[in-house]
Amino acid sequence: MHVIGRDDAQPSTPSPAAATPSREATADSAETIPPSTVRLGSFLARDGSTGAAVGVDVDGPHAAVIFGKRGTGKSYTLGVIAEGLAAAEGVSPVVVDPMGVFGGLREAGGRVVEPSVPPAAIPASAWPDLLGLDPESGAGSLLWRAVADTGASDGGTNTAPDAETGPESPSFEDIRDWIDASRAPDADRRAVDNHLRLAESWGVFDADAPPVASFAADGTPTVLDLAGVPDRAAAAVVRAVARGLYDAQVDGALDRLPWLLVDEAHVFFGGVADPALRTLLTRGRAPGVSLVCATQRPNAVPSVAVSQSDLLVAHRLTAESDVSRLAEAEATYLAGSLASRLPTGTGEALVVDDATETAHTVRIRERRTSHGGGSPRASRTRAAVERSGGAGATEVEMIGGKPPDTASCESEVPR
Ligand SMILES: Nc1ncnc2c1ncn2[C@@H]1O[C@H](COP(=O)(O)OP(=O)(O)OP(=O)(O)O)[C@@H](O)[C@H]1O
């Protein structure tokens, strides 16, 4: 098997896990999978035939991006990697699932949780931005001071959560009490109260929630189900989890290497989660935290996501701006443009490997667990099949993830 992300000429120091054969090997007896390797697929030749198996190294930490226009297989590929991580030793995958399409990972022993995080997991300085308040306004600075003084962390620079107990987190009630006792103008206090009620309504904060490192504590693949959760609330969870995993790993609180896999990653850059994701991209590999970001909008993720990634998986892209982001990955060792080498079929991808300084076309393997994504088809709804008398239909199902939830729209600040 050709292993991407591992330079065999300069092998990394083998971890204890490296000596253990992957559980994937027993799941797929037709092929022996080297230890600490996730099977990705097979080389794809120009004539459409497939060649030798291709795997991804998971012995060491990596930063990876998966690009592709809608329906080309990004989420599916992210799921393939998650499945492989679920079978590998010494790693703890955590999947951010904004569309509710990774529930099938239960079949690989995973758990799906509706995550809640302690308010302290978001630094006081980020709260005004999170709730849409100008930090320099009266209300914004009041909120900042209230969260800071009631004990929220400073973003993890010196109050990394303990894996067992975590830091003491203020509750919304504590923050409100502080504001009530302050001598701030009534208008500011009312504004902050309204915004706090909005944050409470998201249902993602809980002062008694376990520290976020617990999502990666025991190696069980964890899917953070954020379907139907407003974007800003989901971003708060991603910020808390990305930073929490980083801090826990720096503190040596985890006994496995955490992997954070983020689907629809463009939603999380540019908002409150942005600094934590950038930290993982630029500094995550030193302590051993991996990040995999999948997006259909490469132009909406920062350049640093491409420049810091040692692994790039590109499915079909057509938009000029997205293709130009891909061009940023064109290293001197790659002959010609990446865009001209992009495959066109669903589940096919160009894989650029910085470790071996090569690019290959790969057919991504099929999932062993069910995939919840895909495009709903009117022609395959129950109504359409019943009308046609069921002709040609072997199974009546709605293909796709969770239906859009009206609750997912950002609600207005309650008045
Ligand atoms: N490697 C593959 N092998 C077999 N089928 C695949 C593969 N990749 C994708 N598919 C098929 O293509 C469909 C679309 O894939 P996927 O849901 O990953 O698209 P996507 O690029 O994430 O799209 P979106 O942006 O809409 O989420 C899947 O439901 C699956 O049926």
pLDDT of residue 121: 92
Q: Is the dihedral of CA 239, 240, 242, 246 positive or negative?
A: positive
Ligand 1 binding pocket includes 346 (Cβ within 6 Å): yes
Token pair 């600094």 is found at: 275
* 139 has a pLDDT exceeding 90: yes
Q: What pLDDT band is residue 393 in, cutting at 50, 70 and 90? A: very low
Q: How many CB atoms lie within 10 A of CB 390?
A: 10
Window from 49-53, 95-99, 232-236, 376-380 with minimum mean pLDDT? 376-380
Which ipTM did the prediction report? Answer: 0.97
Q: What CATH number should be reported for the domain holding residue 68?
A: 3.40.50.300
pLDDT of residue 14: 41
Assigned domain for 48 exists? yes
Q: What is the mean pLDDT of residues 93-120?
A: 95
Ligand 1 binding pocket includes 79 (Cβ within 6 Å): no
Taking CA atoms only, the protein residue closest to ligand 1 atom 23 is 71
101 contacts 401 by C-beta, under 8 angstroms? yes
* 408 has a pLDDT exceeding 90: no
Ligand 1 binding pocket includes 364 (Cβ within 6 Å): yes
Can you tell me which atom of ligand 1 is nearest the CA of 69?
Answer: 21
The verdict on 236 and 142 lying in the same domain is: no
* Domain coverage including residue 12: 2-117+209-364
Among the candidates 148, 183, 206, a domain finishes at 206
Give residue 62's identity as a one-letter amino acid code. Answer: H
Give the pairing of strands 111-113 and 290-295.
Answer: unpaired
* 307 has a pLDDT exceeding 70: yes
Q: How many CB atoms lie within 10 A of CB 41?
A: 24
Q: What pLDDT band is residue 8 in, cutting at 50, 70 and 90? A: low
70 contacts 191 by C-beta, under 8 angstroms? no
Cα 104 to its chain centre, rounded Å, is 16
* 85 has a pLDDT exceeding 50: yes
- Of 129, 105, 116, 213, nearest in space to 171 by CA: 116
The verdict on 224 and 197 lying in the same domain is: no
pLDDT of residue 392: 39
The verdict on 59 and 81 lying in the same domain is: yes
Ligand 1 binding pocket includes 374 (Cβ within 6 Å): yes
Give residue 298's identity as a one-letter amino acid code. Answer: P
82 contacts 58 by C-beta, under 8 angstroms? no
Among the candidates 206, 238, 257, a domain finishes at 206
* Choice between 383 and 238, residue whose per-residue pLDDT is larger: 238
pLDDT of residue 411: 36
Give residue 12's identity as a one-letter amino acid code. Answer: S
Q: Best of 350, 364, 371 to mutate for ligand 1, by most ligand atoms within 8 A of CB? A: 371
The verdict on 287 and 147 lying in the same domain is: no
Mean pLDDT is highest, among 30-34, 120-124, 394-398, for 120-124
Mean pLDDT over the full length of the chain: 83
Assigned domain for 138 exists? yes
Token pair 């995080």 is found at: 117
* Choice between 263 and 324, residue whose per-residue pLDDT is larger: 263
DSSP state of 394: S
Q: What pLDDT band is residue 376 in, cutting at 50, 70 and 90? A: low
Q: What pLDDT band is residue 62 in, cutting at 50, 70 and 90? A: very high
pLDDT in tens, 109-130: 999 999 999 998 999 999 999 9
* Choice between 334 and 71, residue whose per-residue pLDDT is larger: 71
284 contacts 63 by C-beta, under 8 angstroms? yes
Give residue 9's identity as a one-letter amino acid code. Answer: A
* Choice between 288 and 159, residue whose per-residue pLDDT is larger: 288
The verdict on 113 and 124 lying in the same domain is: no
Assigned domain for 55 exists? yes
Assigned domain for 394 exists? no
Angle at 208 between CA 207 and CA 211, to 5 degrees: 95
Kindly state the helix (H) or strand (E) to which residue 199 belongs, with its residue range: helix 186-202
The three-class DSSP label of residue 258 is strand
Assigned token pair, 86: 């679920």
Dist CA 91 CA 110 (whole Å): 13
The verdict on 103 and 134 lying in the same domain is: no
The verdict on 104 and 34 lying in the same domain is: yes
Q: What is the mean pLDDT of residues 327-332?
A: 77
Q: Best of 40, 67, 70, 75 to mutate for ligand 1, by most ligand atoms within 8 A of CB? A: 75
The three-class DSSP label of residue 2 is strand
Assigned domain for 252 exists? yes
Ligand 1 binding pocket includes 373 (Cβ within 6 Å): yes
* 366 has a pLDDT exceeding 90: yes
DSSP state of 111: E
Give residue 375's identity as a one-letter amino acid code. Answer: S
- 372 CA → ligand 1 middle, Å: 9
The three-class DSSP label of residue 74 is helix
Token pair 């003084």 is found at: 149
Q: What pLDDT band is residue 157 in, cutting at 50, 70 and 90? A: very low
Instruction: Supply the pTM of this predicted model.
Output: 0.85
The verdict on 285 and 355 lying in the same domain is: yes
pLDDT in tens, 243-285: 999 999 999 999 999 999 999 999 999 999 999 999 999 999 9
